[in-house]
Amino acid sequence: MYLGQLIFLIVGCVMVAAAIRVVTSHRIFHAALWLIASFFCVAIVYMLLESPFMAGIQLFIYIGGIAVLTVVAIMVTKDAMSADSRTVSNGWSAAIVAISLFGVMAWTIVQLDLPTEPGMPVSGDSLPLLGAALVDPGGYLLPFEVVSVLLTVVLIGALFLGREH
C-alpha cells in the first residue's frame, strides 16, 4: 500500500462521514460545520490530485465564501430553526433512491477501463497555461465573460433582495 493511497482512504472516509452528518444531523448549525469539514477534505483530495490551485480555490470560494454565507443565513434565520427544527421526511425512500443511484454509478465506474496512472503532463507548470486559456478567444474567453456577467447580475439581485424595505 502506497502512502498516497493511505491518505486518500483516510480523507475519503472522513469526507463521506462528514457529508452524511450534513444531511442527517439534528442541529442545522452543526450541519453547516460538517459541511465545512467535508469541503476541507475535498481540498485535501485536490492536493492529492496535484492541483494546489484548485485546493486554494476550494478553500477560498467554498469555505471562505459559500460556507460563511450559509452560516450567516442560519444565524439570521435563527428563530425559524430553533434547536431541533430539522425535519427529515420520507427518509427511507430517499435513502433507497440514493443508495441505488450510488450502486449504479459505482458498478459503471468499476466496469469501465480507466487509467490507473496519470498521463504525463505537457509542461511542468500548468497554472500560467490555465490563466492564458481563460482569456484566450480561442479558449474559454466566452464562458469566462458570461460568468462575469452572471456574477454582476447576481450581485445586483442579491442587493435588491437584501435591502431594507
Q: Which of residues 40-99 bind another protein (CB under 8 A)?
A: 42, 45-46, 48-57, 59-77, 79-81, 85-91, 93-95, 97-99
Shortest distance, CB of residue 137 to another protein, whole angstroms?
A: 14
14 near another protein, judged by CB under 8 A = no
116-125 contact pairs (CB < 8 A, 24+): 118/50
Whole-number Å distance between alpha carbons of 80 and 42 = 31
Going by the DSSP 8-state scheme, the letter that residue 53 receives in this structure is H
Evaluate whether 43 touches 59 at the Cβ level (below 8 Å): yes
The number of residues that bind another protein (CB under 8 A) is 108
Shortest distance, CB of residue 106 to another protein, whole angstroms?
A: 5
Residues near 26 by Cβ (< 8 Å), separated by ≥ 6? 84, 86
10 near another protein, judged by CB under 8 A = no
Window 136-165: residues binding another protein (CB under 8 A): 139-140, 143-144, 147-148, 150-151, 154-155, 157-158, 161-162
Cβ proximity to another protein: between 89 and 137 the closer is 89
135 near another protein, judged by CB under 8 A = no
Give the number of other Cβ atoms within 10 Å of residue 129's Cβ: 14
